[in-house]
Amino acid sequence: MLTNGKDFRILERTAEEIELVFQCRGIEIEANLPEIKAIIGREEILQRRSGSLNSVIISEIISEPGLLVFPETPAIDRLPIPSLDATSEPITNQQLIAPIVEPKLEPISQGEPSMKTIAIYHNKGGVGKTTTVVNLAAALSKQGKKVLIIDLDSQANTTFAAGLVKFQDEDEDDIKDKNVLHVLTFEELFSIKEVARSTDFCDPVVNVVPSHIDLMSKEVELTPLGYSQFILNQKLKEVETDYDVVIIDTPPSLNLYASIALISADYLIIPSDLKPFANQGLNNVKGLIKKANTSRKIVNKPPLEVLGVLATKISTNSKFRTSTLPRRVQLIEDKYGFEVMESTIFEREDLAKCAELTEIIDDIEIPAPRSVLDFKPESDAAQEFKTLALEVWRKIK
């Protein structure tokens, strides 16, 4: 099935249901041909026709003997289809057309803590942390999850990308008096509920605990206070029934705020462009994880669970994707011992444009960024973050 000419899927019928057995982007088919042929080659299809498992393959661009070829058909979730035994009549398009149904995230298992906290961290800058944070949050929100973003980076890029910087100069700064610094500084005051703000960078909205440049100068004062690294962890417990997912953005450094994020989170995603400098930084990430796990024991938290390295800002060049990218992925796993996540975030123009949107208010141009899922919901970039949200939820629920 080639969904809207972009998303290639192989569906397999088991009993009365149709299950997804393979998925990739339409432009990734060439790189995945060996795996695709292993599933839908002539011999495999004949075996399925003679047994109880039946597959329907719908494609516009792969035409091999033994395959059914149709024009593009809307995406389907679970769809009853005729059997493909030897006596079956040919299947028509009309039998397969169904309304577009987005995959839905399953609820968290009963008996488990409902709120899951994910830190997005790499000590190398420029690898797409902010882009990952805001668009993953938007993708989860659109799946009906209640999401909170916490910006722990003094550069406040996530605060900006979430649309909270609506002022032109410091005299109009409405963040300086209530931001993440206040959450970290005062043990009894400035709860997350009090500091968090709703945003309009995506719909449904998510809440954001904003950062501020003052965070940078206050690190020296907070570091000697041993309890400061545990305050966020404690305050998150106060809102564990208010949110399904908390996503923490981090500074590209090995400082106190990065440590606080790794102590407070349940899971870690490491965005990386997989280039040499980012790869070298993975050893530092390992060291900080080890340090954070030592501190986590103090508050009876299990070791941080690493969901994997997320390939970000990846070139869409076909030769790079089929040749260089697989080698870089293998290097991460072999040399640095980190699993690379299934999802990939490619470097796309839409991701840059949606972060640079503005609006005119009283003849003044004000930043008005949007998530890529709101800016261009049918774009490749939006689909990639939808896929990432599904993978993340599968791993944490």
| More confident site: 30 or 299 | 299
| More confident site: 182 or 25 | 182
pLDDT of the residue at 296:
95
The answer on pLDDT for 114 being more than 50 is: yes
Integer CA distances (angstroms), 17 to 14, 26, 79, 196, 343, in order: 5, 24, 7, 43, 25
**Contact by Cβ (8 Å): 209, 257:** no
- Report the percent of the chain where pLDDT is more than 90: 59
d(CA 224, CA 145): 37
pLDDT of the residue at 18:
72
**113, two tokens:** 């803590």
Q: Does domain 116-396 have CATH number 3.30.70.20?
A: no
d(CA 281, CA 277): 6
**135, two tokens:** 């668009």
**81, two tokens:** 């289809």
| More confident site: 187 or 129 | 129
pLDDT in tens, 294-340: 999 999 999 999 999 999 999 999 999 999 999 999 999 999 999 99
What integer best gives the mean pLDDT of the chain?
82
Range in 167-181, 243-257, 358-372 the model is least confident about = 167-181
d(CA 333, CA 315): 20
Residue range(s) of every CATH 3.40.50.300 domain in the chain? 116-396
**Contact by Cβ (8 Å): 259, 295:** yes
Q: What pTM was computed for the model?
A: 0.74
| More confident site: 18 or 380 | 380
12: confidence class by pLDDT, cuts 50, 70, 90: confident
Q: Do the bridges between strand 364-367 and strand 358-361 make them parallel or antiparallel, or are there none, so unpaired?
A: antiparallel
pLDDT of the residue at 194:
96
- Report the percent of the chain where pLDDT is more than 70: 78
Dihedral sign computed on CA atoms, order 131, 134, 137, 143: negative
Dihedral in degrees, nearest 10, Cα atoms 341, 342, 343, 344 = 80
**Contact by Cβ (8 Å): 212, 176:** yes
Highest mean pLDDT among 53-67, 158-172, 377-391: 377-391
**32, two tokens:** 């995945």
pLDDT of the residue at 300:
93
pLDDT of the residue at 113:
55
- CA 241-246-251 angle, to 5 degrees, is 150
pLDDT of the residue at 166:
77
Strand partners, 41: none
**Contact by Cβ (8 Å): 269, 304:** no
What is the SS3 assignment for 314? Answer: strand
- What's the average model confidence in pLDDT over 133-142? 98
d(CA 380, CA 102): 15
Highest mean pLDDT among 4-13, 98-107, 386-395: 386-395
pLDDT in tens, 54-74: 444 433 333 343 443 333 434
